[in-house]
Structure 1
């Protein structure tokens, strides 16, 4: 292990320890979130804007690490405090940053030993289709968010593809989740919602395939 890798591991470990310390020091508030006592949580947070930003960000990191807090709960808190637009955007920004942090931590701590056990063909497939793997998981939440982050982190998918797929996927999916607190959608995805998500998935899939095709053609021409 070189000095750079050791430094990365130390930095991610320090980041996680800071988060744990913050949670422990605000245990009562986080217990309210755990018990879904939204009225009390929202009342406390609205009295301190800085605390609101920090707590909601930490909650998003926890959700992206273990998925022990329902994502709809966090969006409900953000939308209730900041309003629909800003609550939606803040949820989206924090989710992308939190996902990136967990991805980075998993990559620096667990990728090297696991990749040795995987065949080269599997690694090549992940690199080539990494964007679609992550994007599909984001807009069709059949797999926990935390598992997507950890699996991508220990795989050979590039950070660029992971972050782009997460940003686009969450931008779409969070929009629908943000409508639920307003009663415009039920928690159970109805047929119309699933149809829209399927259409968006198909649209981005076609765009992605076209992009990959152009990229291969450009690469071929440069190396002729």
Structure 2
């Protein structure tokens, strides 16, 4: 069986299960950050169409991040705190500890920031649940919408290689730009 057959089997499986699969996949990704959120959004858009695929992905990703936030808040966790302390995002994550919702919002907007660490840090700060949701919902709205737009156009990438190249350059540019702004933000607030 080749790769295309595996893909068809998986897409058919998701389609048979329906919206529950579309929501559960991003929930699982919130707990297992090695899984590709962009892949799950593309699958949802391919199976359920742009709007419903986007909606299921957004609900699932928000639900997963919220459940992770609540779980870490309940159990705490020195292991998670140590992982955060060793992270390259330590300075920015320190801002979250100070309950800076703007930083939380912007970090969640970027698809390449580790959502697991962001939710974990927010939970360990004892951030108010309402504040967390206030930052989570609109930021994930923006992030998942950009991924859904990519997912909507994914089939045309194989037919038009130039579009594929543009997509790769766009993703890399967003990644570098987001890292640049996060670095500048951290530098500015270290001086203040």
Normalising to structure 1: TM-score of the pair? 0.57
Deviation at 1:128, TM superposition (A): 4.2
Matches within 5 A, 1:68-217: 68-110=34-76, 126-129=97-100, 131-181=101-151, 182-183=153-154, 186-189=167-170
What is the SS of the residue equivalent to 2:143? helix
CA deviations 1:143-183 (Å, max 9, x no partner) are 31211111211123221121121111111111111121214
Decide whether the 8 Å contact of 1:138 with 1:173 is kept in 2: yes
Partner of 2:186: none
Count of aligned pairs between the two proteins: 154
Decide whether the 8 Å contact of 2:109 with 2:142 is kept in 1: yes
What is the SS of the residue equivalent to 2:167? coil
The two structures, once aligned, show a CA RMSD in angstroms of 3.5
Q: Distance in 1 between matches of 2:148 and 2:168?
A: 11
Decide whether the 8 Å contact of 2:95 with 2:103 is kept in 1: no
Deviation at 1:38, TM superposition (A): 3.0
Q: Distance in 1 between matches of 2:95 and 2:43?
A: 41
| Structure 1: runs of 5+ lacking an equivalent | 1-35, 116-121, 202-224
Decide whether the 8 Å contact of 2:25 with 2:60 is kept in 1: no
Higher relative contact order (CA 8 A, sep 6+): 2
Distance 1:91 1:133, change over 3 A: same
Q: Which runs of 4+ in 1 moved over 4 A?
A: 111-115, 122-125, 190-194
Matches within 5 A, 1:10-89: 37-46=6-15, 48=16, 51-89=17-55
The structure with more radius of gyration: 1
What is the SS of the residue equivalent to 2:170? coil
Decide whether the 8 Å contact of 1:139 with 1:173 is kept in 2: yes
| Structure 2: runs of 5+ lacking an equivalent | 82-92, 155-162, 182-192
